[in-house]
Every structure is written in C-alpha cells, then in structure tokens.
Structure 1
C-alpha cells in the first residue's frame, strides 16, 4: 500500500514539474523536441511490427 502511495505522489509531482517547465520557452522547446523524437521512435516500432507481421503472413 505504501508503494502505491509513493507511486501516486511521484506521478503527481512529475506532472506538476512538467507543467511548470513547459511554461518556459526552453521547456516548451525541450518538450517539442521530445515529442518529435518519441514520434519517430513510435513510427519505427510500428513499421518494424508491420514488416515482421507481413513476413510471417507471407510464410503461410
């Protein structure tokens, strides 16, 4: 139960800090860059998954 409380407090603090950082120009730039890198990563994972799925489907 204690670890669930610590997780909830840590999550709330993380959101608060991210919100405060995002209010600054440097913070906004950081989060914009982070978003673009995460989008590239997501697109790579999805592309790899679809390619592997196509390979497996063609084997049958």
Structure 2
C-alpha cells in the first residue's frame, strides 16, 4: 500500500512539474515537439499494423482460393 501511495504522489508531482514547465515558452516548445514525435511514431506503428494486416489477409485469401 505504501508503494502505491509513492506511485500516486510521483505521478501527481510529475503532472504538476510538467504543467509548470509548459507555462514557459521553451517548455511549451519542448512539449509540442514531443507531442509531434509521439504522434508520428503512433502513425508509423498504425501504418505498419495495417500493412501487415493486409499482407496476412492476402495470404489467407490465397490459401482459401
């Protein structure tokens, strides 16, 4: 239970610090850049997933035909 409390306090502290940093111009620019990179990574993962899904569907269609 004590570890859970420390985890919650750490998360809350991280949010407070991130909010304070985001208020500055440099901090806002940093978080905007991190957000853009995270979205780019997510899009790449989704594209790879959809490409692999299409490959597997084609392979199944070939086997069934």
Q: TM-score, normalised by structure 2?
A: 0.89
RMSD over aligned CA atoms reads 0.6
1:14 corresponds in structure 2 to 14
1:43 corresponds in structure 2 to 43
How much has 1:32 moved relative to structure 2? 0.6
Unaligned runs of 5+ in 2: 61-65
Unaligned runs of 5+ in 1: none
1:32 corresponds in structure 2 to 32
CA distance in structure 2 between the partners assigned to 1:39 and 1:32 by the alignment:
11
The alignment covers a number of residue pairs equal to 60
